[in-house]
């Protein structure tokens, strides 16, 4: 998709930068479009007209500056100030995209009683301060903003329950997380010695993702930067469209591709970042991603189970094949033994005894016992006894003839 810039009327770069960030916020753009007001001077109508024009060409902001009553277009203004003005003037539906709510809790350290005040906000103002490790990050600023503040000594506060001034703790809690969280880095502070505003240009680590209390994750998609002094500087916007992984720099009417920054944990270490726009990570997409991972895990487990079962079936088949082979051998040996007993033929008897010895040596005994082949041993011994009786009978009739060979009991065992 092609993106277009906004023409500078003189020193309206501050306005162009925040308008581009608002245009790239789909929820805000759609809310402005659906607004039911149709007065010519209404900010919703002017923004919608501008946004429709930005889809097609480089556009003018003349009507917007008129609606916002900006007369001195050659004087630079604070981008944060006019962003707050726009969000205050648009419809509730549009401003709700950026609107969060804080709980301002005042706690008496003596009696524990507390009072809560609900404080709506469009952005969190983060003071810049020195970090212990020398690297100040956006997350450091959020932690400092939500940190408890102690008021004691001369700063004690009056407690309605105690009826006295007591040490007091001020706590901030996030009651409502906005869909889009805007962070304002307080680079411009009033200097009471110089009686004028001065700029703090210390470097800040701008994180691509941040985590707020209640385990809510936000992802950076736009930042407005300021270069130079407060009165003679210049504003630009760097934005990542919602459906892309590329960043674009919007410098008034110029739009250029910056590159892919999504793989970095920190977007950059910046001395110029002023306004940061973070979009709430979609919980449905997280759940969907979690479900996909769970489904993949289940499929892997099923495949593993099937492989295990296949191996078990193969093992059982091999075992059954061996049992069948062993049972067949035992049956063959059993037949030989029966034939030797019935016929008392020396050749068959020798074969059955030899097979029995081979069976014993090959350790098929366990299998044969499981197949109830144990009677084979008894049959062989009976056949041996009958064979000896027959030999003895022959020797009685023919003393000169003796059996030349007969297996000993040790050979049968």
For every residue of 204-261, which 3-state class applies, written as one string?
EEEECEEEECCCEEEEEEEEEEEECCCCCCEEEEEECCCCCCCEEEEECCEEEEEECC
Domain ranges of the chain: 13-103+117-143+174-281, 323-412
Least confident range from 267-276, 334-343, 381-390: namely: 334-343
Compute the distance between CA of residue 353 and CA of residue 350 in angstroms, rounded to an integer: 5
Compute the distance between CA of residue 153 and CA of residue 167 in angstroms, rounded to an integer: 7
The greatest distance separating any two alpha carbons of the chain, rounded to the nearest whole angstrom, comes to 148
CB proximity list for 7: less than 8 A, separation 6 or greater: 58, 59, 60, 61, 252, 253
pLDDT-based confidence at residue 215 (cuts at 50, 70, 90): confident
Q: What confidence score (pLDDT) does residue 194 get?
A: 77
In terms of pLDDT, which residue wins out, 121 or 332? 121
Least confident range from 72-81, 144-153, 198-207: namely: 198-207
Identify the CA nearest to 99 among candidates 40, 176, 4, 46: 176
- Which CATH entry fits the domain spanning 13-103+117-143+174-281: 1.20.120.140, 3.90.70.10, 3.90.79.10, 3.20.20.120? 3.90.70.10
- Tokens 């800040």 locate to 204
Average pLDDT, integer, range 141-154: 89
Contact (Cβ atoms closer than 8 angstroms) between residue 376 and residue 337 = yes
Q: Is the pLDDT of residue 60 over 50?
A: yes
Beta bridge partners of 165: 158
Q: What confidence score (pLDDT) does residue 22 get?
A: 97
Least confident range from 172-176, 223-227, 274-278, 312-316: namely: 312-316
Average pLDDT, integer, range 387-395: 58
Average pLDDT, integer, range 191-201: 79
Residue 366, number of CB atoms within 10 A of its CB = 9
pLDDT-based confidence at residue 195 (cuts at 50, 70, 90): confident
Please state, for a pLDDT cut of 90, what percent of the chain lies above it: 42
pLDDT-based confidence at residue 87 (cuts at 50, 70, 90): very high
The pTM for the full model equals 0.66
Compute the distance between CA of residue 99 and CA of residue 122 in angstroms, rounded to an integer: 5
Q: What confidence score (pLDDT) does residue 143 get?
A: 87
Q: What confidence score (pLDDT) does residue 139 get?
A: 86
Query: What is the overall mean pLDDT for the chain?
Result: 76
């Amino acid at each position: 998709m092609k993106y277009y810039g906004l023409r500078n009327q003189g020193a309206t770069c501050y306005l162009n930068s925040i308008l581009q960030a608002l245009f790239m916020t789909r929820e805000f753009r759609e809310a402005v479009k659906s607004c039911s007001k149709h007065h010519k001077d209404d900010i919703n109508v002017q923004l919608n007209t501008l946004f429709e024009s930005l889809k097609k060409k480089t556009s003018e902001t003349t009507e917007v500056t008129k609606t916002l009553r900006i007369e001195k277009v050659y004087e630079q203004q604070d981008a944060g100030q006019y962003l707050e003005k726009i969000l205050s003037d648009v419809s509730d539906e549009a401003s709700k995209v950026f609107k969060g709510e804080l709980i301002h809790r005042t706690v008496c350290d003596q009696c524990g009683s507390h009072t809560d005040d609900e404080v709506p906000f469009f952005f969190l103002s983060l003071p810049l301060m020195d970090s212990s490790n020398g690297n100040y990050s956006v997350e450091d600023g959020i932690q400092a903003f939500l940190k408890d503040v102690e008021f004691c000594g001369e700063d004690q506060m009056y407690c309605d329950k105690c009826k006295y001034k007591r040490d007091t703790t001020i706590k901030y809690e996030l009651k409502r997380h906005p869909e889009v969280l805007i962070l304002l880095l307080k680079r411009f502070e009033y200097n009471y010695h110089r009686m004028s505003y001065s700029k703090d240009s210390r470097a800040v680590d701008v994180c691509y993702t941040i985590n707020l209390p209640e385990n809510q994750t936000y992802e950076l998609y736009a930042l407005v930067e300021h270069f130079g002094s407060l009165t003679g500087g210049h504003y630009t916007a760097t934005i990542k469209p919602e459906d892309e992984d590329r960043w674009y720099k919007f410098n008034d009417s110029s739009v250029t591709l910056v590159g892919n920054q999504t793989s970095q944990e920190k977007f950059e270490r910046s001395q110029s970042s002023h306004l940061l726009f973070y979009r709430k990570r979609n919980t449905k997409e997280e759940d969907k991603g979690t479900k996909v991972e769970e489904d993949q895990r289940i499929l892997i487990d099923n495949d593993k189970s099937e492989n295990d079962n296949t191996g078990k079936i193969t093992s059982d088949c091999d075992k059954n094949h061996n049992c069948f082979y062993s049972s067949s051998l035992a049956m063959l040996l059993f037949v030989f033994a029966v034939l030797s007993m019935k016929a008392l033929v020396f050749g068959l008897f020798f074969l059955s005894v030899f097979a029995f010895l081979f069976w014993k040596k090959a350790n098929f005994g366990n299998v044969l016992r499981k197949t109830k082949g144990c009677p084979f041993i008894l049959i062989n011994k009976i056949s041996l006894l009958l064979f000896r009786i027959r030999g003895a009978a022959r020797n009685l009739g023919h003393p000169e003839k003796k059996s030349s060979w007969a297996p000993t009991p040790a050979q049968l065992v």
